[in-house]
Structure 1
Amino acid sequence: MTTTKVNTIQKWEEFADKALNGEILTEEEALRILNAPDEDLLQILHAAYRVRKHYYGNKVKLNMIINAKSGLCPEDCGYCSQSMTANTPVEKYRLLEKDVLVQGAKEAMQRKAGTYCIVMSGRGASSREIDQVVDAVKEIKSEMPLKICACLGILPQDKVDRLKEAGVDRYNHNLNTSRSHHANITTTHTYDDRVNTVENVKSAGISPCSGCIIGMGETKNEVYEMALELRKLDADSIPVNFLHAIPGTKLEGMDELTPSYCLKVLALFRFMNPSKEIRISGGREVNLRSLQAMGLYAANSIFVGDYLTTEGQQYSSDHQMIEDLGFEIEECAL
């Protein structure tokens, strides 16, 4: 092995050392990862795996989504097929009845998911919708050992407090992109609206979940900006989505990602947020393709089943992928 190759491997391992020591990678170091030649990919993932293994061993957390209210969203987010500005044939319906939400939780248990995510379209849940979610959460928590994650849009403190009282464990509100790129993605709410909702969640004592969507035309510097902002927010769970551009949305036709780049992004997020749950989320199947399993050397969590308006891999295939990798499903992981 040449001296240059040895030095390169040592550099990736130094990034792992920094992460384990609580140090933050510089922007220059982050760009070195994202711009690394693909021949260095295995070494980068090995270094990320050292960090992942330190905090999570070989365990994988599973999460399942229920699209509890679909379509008719007044926001103009360019990636979203449920936006009223999108010309997409998505199913539209109001908030599902309590019995349907409870049945979804039972399905999550069957799929060995530890977290059940109740997700609504719209700017933010109304008081009546909060009442409906609260009723469903109370019944689910009384019957099943599930972590409940709610994703109900931009919420003020009083509504978040009600969710906490009902037993909601986690609240998801993604930053989605960087502050500097936000106006290119949506104009109907601000970046600070999103940050403030996450802060309200933390104030209520609910575990904050916030992540991003990669592949929306952002620069690599902005990818670093996202990872750094999520570290500052101290999000416990960070879903990393990869754009699955839907025909009829503002971002239709955008296809700038490769599997190797997606893996480098996951490694960067592990180095930047070493102790946090890093979840490979929407667009996993489309963008990582045959390299999906490799993502688990950096990430420790995935969604099983379908997403909001797009289909996911069969959950039995996800179980098999985890088993083939020699990893272990962390059932009912709380």
Structure 2
Amino acid sequence: MSVVIRYDWQESEIRKIHDTPLLELIYQAASVHRQFHDPSKIQVCKLISIKTGGCPEDCSYCAQSSRYKTEVKAQQLLEKETVLSIAQQAKESGVSRVCMGAAWREVRDNSQFEQVLDMVKEVTALGLEVCCTLGMLTQAQAKRLEEAGLYAYNHNLDTSQDYYSTIITTRTYGDRLNTINNVRQTNVTVCSGGILGLGESVDDRVSMLHTLGTLHPHPESVPINILSQVQGTPLENQPDVPIWEVVRMIATARIVMPASDVRLSAGRARLSQVEQALCFLAGANSIFSSDDGHMLTVTTPCPGYNADHEMLNLLGLETRSAFVGQSKTPIEAVVG
């Protein structure tokens, strides 16, 4: 199927794609994927929690919220040398993108932000794509991150606008979109996706993809996360998301935003190699890997580097180098 990158999607069109018989949907998504990406390449990413726990937000899924009693204890901002050591080890293990996350509601113009800017400069100097997820930020702060060399900023929508207030009450959907818009005033790329398994409906999932798919340009990076239930949070008893629903979302995202990287992110640890292979076939071209078996905190498991290398070798896939993903300039041409 030949496609054109478009920003005028209707929710009914996305729902029709989502509801396509599964094997046909995977075939269509795989075809689109091959038009825009090298299907033999997977980008391996590493998430470093540079400031863990103590977040004032009430995100119902999050182990790092100060409002819930979880295993996560609040910690201070990591030292730059520690971050650099982790990043260097990750690079040696095949990682080409490092995401630095801080459990903040928003970025503040203080000494900690200065330290983060310094980390961005030095990790970028290692030859890695650097992504940050620090909460809400202003246009001026986004500009400073750009000047430090930041490649991407992550700010997930999580779910649909209608369902959002069921999951989070300490900020609005508009706040999320405003931060994305502030990043768009710079040359920093946007990373924004959602989480499956929050109790949302299929309509909510389609609505979230509609919001992302009508942003102009699309986010260069679209993470599809699967809820990792954390004891002590309001969503600790949510049922697991069936793999077929995960594959449908990846395939639909691939067709709606064909040039974007679709990242199989949190929750991957519970998927078998066969299930992950289906996700790659449906258009996922990025994973998060780890050296310690955890993605972000002790409550979010993540496959290790060795296991992931074995899986990629088995599937005949190669790791992708840094800075070879989608250009920051959106592609407008018809492909096919």
TM over 0.5: yes
Matched, 1:251 2:207: no
Shift of 1:215: 1.3
Q: Counterparts of 1:222 and 1:155 in 2: how far apart (Å)?
A: 26
1:89 and 1:222, CA in 2 relative to 1: closer, same or farther beyond 3 A? same
Matched, 1:64 2:52: no
Q: Is the 8 A contact 2:14 2:210 kept in 1?
A: no
Give the structure 2 partner of residue 55 of structure 1.
36
1:57 and 1:139, CA in 2 relative to 1: closer, same or farther beyond 3 A? closer
Give the structure 1 partner of residue 114 of structure 2.
131
Matched, 1:312 2:295: no
Larger deviation, residues 182-191 vs 317-326: 317-326
Q: Is the 8 A contact 1:262 1:287 kept in 2?
A: no
**3-state SS, counterpart of residue 204 of structure 1:** coil
Shift of 1:62: 1.3
Give the structure 2 partner of residue 331 of structure 1.
321
Q: TM-score, normalised by structure 2?
A: 0.88
Q: Counterparts of 1:158 and 1:288 in 2: how far apart (Å)?
A: 43
Matched, 1:222 2:212: no
1:287 and 1:255, CA in 2 relative to 1: closer, same or farther beyond 3 A? farther
1:288 and 1:179, CA in 2 relative to 1: closer, same or farther beyond 3 A? farther
What is the CA RMSD across the aligned residues, in angstroms? Answer: 1.8
**Matched AA of 1:152:** L
Q: Is the 8 A contact 1:241 1:281 kept in 2?
A: yes
Alignment of 1:140-155 (within 5 A): 140-142=123-125, 144-155=126-137
Shift of 1:49: 0.8
Q: Counterparts of 1:332 and 1:29 in 2: how far apart (Å)?
A: 34
Give the structure 1 partner of residue 284 of structure 2.
299
Matched, 1:179 2:167: no
Shift of 1:332: 3.0
Q: Is the 8 A contact 1:77 1:83 kept in 2?
A: yes
**Matched AA of 2:31:** R
Q: Counterparts of 1:179 and 1:226 in 2: how far apart (Å)?
A: 7
**Matched AA of 2:23:** L
**3-state SS, counterpart of residue 258 of structure 2:** coil
Give the structure 2 partner of residue 41 of structure 1.
22
Matched, 1:281 2:262: no
Matched, 1:261 2:251: no
Deviations 1:279-323 (A, max 9, x none): 000012225674112111111111112311212111222122222
Shift of 1:125: 2.7
**3-state SS, counterpart of residue 95 of structure 2:** coil
Q: Counterparts of 2:240 and 2:100 in 1: how far apart (Å)?
A: 30
Q: Counterparts of 1:52 and 1:75 in 2: how far apart (Å)?
A: 36
Q: Counterparts of 1:77 and 1:284 in 2: how far apart (Å)?
A: 20
Q: Counterparts of 2:266 and 2:226 in 1: how far apart (Å)?
A: 6
1:284 and 1:33, CA in 2 relative to 1: closer, same or farther beyond 3 A? farther
Q: How many aligned residue pairs are there?
A: 313
Larger Rg: 1
Shift of 1:85: 1.6
**Matched AA of 2:322:** C
Q: TM-score, normalised by structure 1?
A: 0.88
Deviations 1:14-39 (A, max 9, x none): xx44xx23356654454345445xxx
Q: Counterparts of 1:312 and 1:47 in 2: how far apart (Å)?
A: 29
Give the structure 2 partner of residue 321 of structure 1.
311
**Matched AA of 1:320:** E
Q: Is the 8 A contact 2:269 2:301 kept in 1?
A: no
Unaligned runs of 5+ in 2: 325-336
1:287 and 1:245, CA in 2 relative to 1: closer, same or farther beyond 3 A? farther
Q: Counterparts of 1:49 and 1:31 in 2: how far apart (Å)?
A: 18
Q: Is the 8 A contact 2:107 2:137 kept in 1?
A: yes
Q: Is the 8 A contact 1:112 1:332 kept in 2?
A: no
Give the structure 2 partner of residue 80 of structure 1.
62
**3-state SS, counterpart of residue 85 of structure 1:** coil
**Matched AA of 1:63:** C
Unaligned runs of 5+ in 1: 1-15
Shift of 1:232: 2.2
Q: Counterparts of 2:273 and 2:94 in 1: how far apart (Å)?
A: 23
